[in-house]
Amino acid sequence: MTQSPLDNPEIAAIAWARYKRLIKRWSLVTLAVCVVLIAYLAWEFGLPSIHLYIATVLGIAGVIMLTVALMALLFLSSGTGHDESIDDRE
């Protein structure tokens, strides 16, 4: 295995800063989606149970943020050249 670009502290700092920026931006998008969703559910169904709203928000936010975190890690790995540094000779 060759040296990974993420072993360089300067490159790693830039890559992780980009990762954190993506997570922060998508957190705001997720919050907006959840607010719109709660408003729609309240308008359509009234207030059947607070547990419906809690479960819905946790489910939607969990799926969105897990997807964003995994995709951001994929971008971090590919964008820094870390994927190319793996020597897979078998």
- Per-residue model confidence as pLDDT tens digits over 28-46: 999 999 999 999 988 988 8
Q: pTM score > 0.75 for this model? A: no
Torsion sign across C-alpha atoms 17, 19, 24, 26: positive
In the chain, which ranges are E strands?
none
Residue 29: CB atoms within 10 Å:
12
Q: Which residues lie closer than 8 Å to 6 by C-beta, 6 or more apart? A: 12, 15, 80, 82
Tell me what percent of the residues of the chain surpass a pLDDT of 90: 39
Which amino acid appears at position 11 of this protein? I
